[in-house]
């Protein structure tokens, strides 16, 4: 690359590469035609790949994944600069200002007033609420991103409501709510079985109860200091590993799934669980 900056470790090098990719003269046709909307899915994908590398313990991959994610930030900032909205420097200045403002116990006049990570989490939400109030936004649940994964947003909504005291007192209270939601789901399923002619309404009722159950479980995770998305990703990874074990046994027996009845598959599944613990 003839016009690459001398110091390839500098953020300026990446900014110049991005500008060249978007340049009408000699840039990349694909990069030039992208918009905020078309790039957003890639931004989400790269963020997930960072999380995946961490969860898998593939820290040798983390450097590259962080680079891919940083490129997404630079891409959005470049498009914003072209639209005369803001530039990368504004992004950096904004996050620096925010971090200083939201850590008065580190950078301001409240040093020593935050004794733990939990204290800081509560204080962070309090400062965010003060900022929303100052901006004229008084809704407690304002600005919780709609685009978050469902379980993550459920936990975030619960956390935000908790800042004003609207929460279960402890994990036991949430667990009791899980039992209540399961009972309501059972009732909806029973109602559907008793009145099959009302299928669409039954489906909606069951969907609502399943949603309530998932919302409650996400907040049970929050009370247990667990990430619900990480929990379900872990469950999916275990399912995949165990199913691969079952599939290998079926293939070894000739590969005919229909030759294995549900009881036989359940035995293989239990075998897989024991083998992959």
Q: Confidence band (pLDDT; 50, 70, 90) for 8? A: low
| pLDDT for position 277 | 76
- pTM of the full predicted structure? 0.70
Mean pLDDT in residue range 205-234: 95
> 87-145: per-residue pLDDT in tens?
999 999 999 999 998 888 888 777 667 778 877 887 778 888 788 777 777 788 988 98
pLDDT at 162 over 80: yes
The string of DSSP codes covering the chain is: -TT--S-TTSHHHHHHHHHHHH-TTT--HHHHH--HHHHHHHHHHHHHHHHHHHHTT-HHHHHHHHHHHHHHHHHHHHHHHHTTS--HHHHHHHHHHHHHHT-HHHHSS-TT---SHHHHHHHHHHHHHHHHHHTT---TTTT--TTS-HHHHHHHHHHHHHTTT-S-SSHHHHHHHHHHHHHHHHHHHHHHHH-GGGHHHHHHHHHHHHHHHHHHHHHHHHHTT--HHHHHHHHHHHHHHHHHHHHHHHHHTTS-GGGS-HHHHHHHHHHHHHH--
């Amino acid at each position: 690359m003839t016009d690459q900056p001398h110091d390839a470790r500098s953020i300026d090098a990446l900014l110049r590469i991005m500008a060249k990719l978007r340049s009408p003269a000699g840039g990349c046709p694909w990069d030039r035609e992208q918009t905020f909307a078309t790039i957003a899915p890639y931004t989400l994908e790269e963020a997930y790949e960072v999380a995946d590398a961490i969860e898998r313990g593939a820290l040798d991959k983390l450097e590259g994944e962080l680079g891919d994610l940083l490129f997404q930030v630079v891409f959005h900032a470049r498009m914003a600069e072209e639209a005369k909205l803001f530039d990368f420097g504004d992004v950096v200045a904004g996050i620096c200002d925010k971090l200083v403002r939201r850590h008065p116990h580190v950078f301001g006049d409240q040093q020593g007033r935050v004794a733990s990570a939990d204290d800081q989490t509560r204080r962070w939400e309090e400062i965010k609420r003060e900022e929303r109030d100052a901006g004229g936004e008084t809704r407690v649940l304002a600005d919780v991103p709609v685009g978050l994964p469902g379980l993550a947003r459920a936990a975030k909504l619960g956390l935000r409501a908790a800042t004003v005291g609207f929460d279960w007192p402890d994990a036991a209270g949430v667990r009791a709510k899980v039992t209540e939601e399961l009972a309501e789901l059972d009732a909806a399923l029973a109602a559907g079985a008793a009145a099959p002619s009302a299928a669409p309404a039954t489906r909606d009722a069951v969907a609502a109860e399943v949603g309530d159950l998932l919302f409650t479980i996400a907040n049970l995770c929050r009370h247990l200091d667990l990430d619900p998305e990480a929990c379900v990703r872990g469950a999916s990874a275990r399912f995949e590993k165990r199913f691969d074990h079952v599939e290998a046994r079926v293939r070894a027996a000739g590969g005919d799934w229909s030759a294995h009845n549900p009881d036989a598959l359940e035995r293989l599944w239990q075998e897989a669980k024991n083998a992959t613990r």
